[in-house]
Amino acid sequence: MIWLILGLALWIGAHFFKRIAPGVRAGMGERGKLLVTVLSLAGVVLMVVGYRAAEWVPVYSPLPGMGHANNTLMLVSLFLFGVGGTKGTLYPKIRHPMLWGVVVWSVAHLLVNGDQASLVLFGGMGLWALVSMVLINRAEVWVPPTGGRGLKGDAMNVAGTLVLLGVIAMIHAWLGHPVFLGTYS
């Protein structure tokens, strides 16, 4: 569990660096971006290793049938991740689409995983995303972006979402967690 917590701390620390010490971060320029990237990647590796190695300690029992809700929420989450990149009709309407995607991802996984490590990982990431939105909103006035691709961007996002969901499902199956066969974790 220590690796999971350390990885989560690295991820959160790296992403809050700009908010906690904006002057220091700005003074680092490109080196600061590289530092955040390296710490974030190290955090992800430690979270994965720590989650997979964590002892299974039950906290609550997920409700039956929540796997379908998980899969549906994952579609929504992945779509939200792509909103900024594909610049569809939601692009000028949703502030922080990637962070909202993390929140939805977190909730989706907490619906089907009731163990301690899942609460730490998925709950921690969801909480990080919510706090990030609050910090950003306090620091910056949002000016909705203009332009975008409209429905063409949405179509691109739907296609990307479906491909990415397939890749994620294959990775989960490879790790022993088939997400479309009724076995969720």
Task: Give the integer Cα–Cα distance in Å for 97 and 74.
Answer: 14
Tell me if residue 58 falls in helix, strand or coil.
Answer: strand
Overall pTM surpassing 0.75 (yes/no): yes
The dihedral formed by the CA atoms of 88, 126, 23 and 6, expressed in degrees to the nearest 10: -130
Q: Tens of pLDDT along the chain (185 residues)?
A: 999 999 999 999 999 998 888 889 889 999 999 999 999 999 999 999 999 999 999 999 999 989 899 999 999 999 999 999 999 999 999 999 999 999 999 999 999 999 999 999 999 999 999 999 999 999 999 999 988 899 999 999 999 999 999 999 899 888 887 776 444 44
Q: Break the chain into its structural domains and give their ranges.
A: 1-54, 58-185
pLDDT at 184: 47
Q: DSSP state, 1?
A: -
For residue 58, what are its two tokens?
């039950």
pLDDT at 145: 92
pLDDT at 180: 64
Task: Give the integer Cα–Cα distance in Å for 6 and 81.
Answer: 25
For residue 185, what are its two tokens?
């974790």
CB within 8 Å of 123: residues ≥ 6 apart: 106, 110
Closest CA to 51 of 101, 122, 129, 107: 122
∠128-130-133 over CA atoms, to 5°? 105
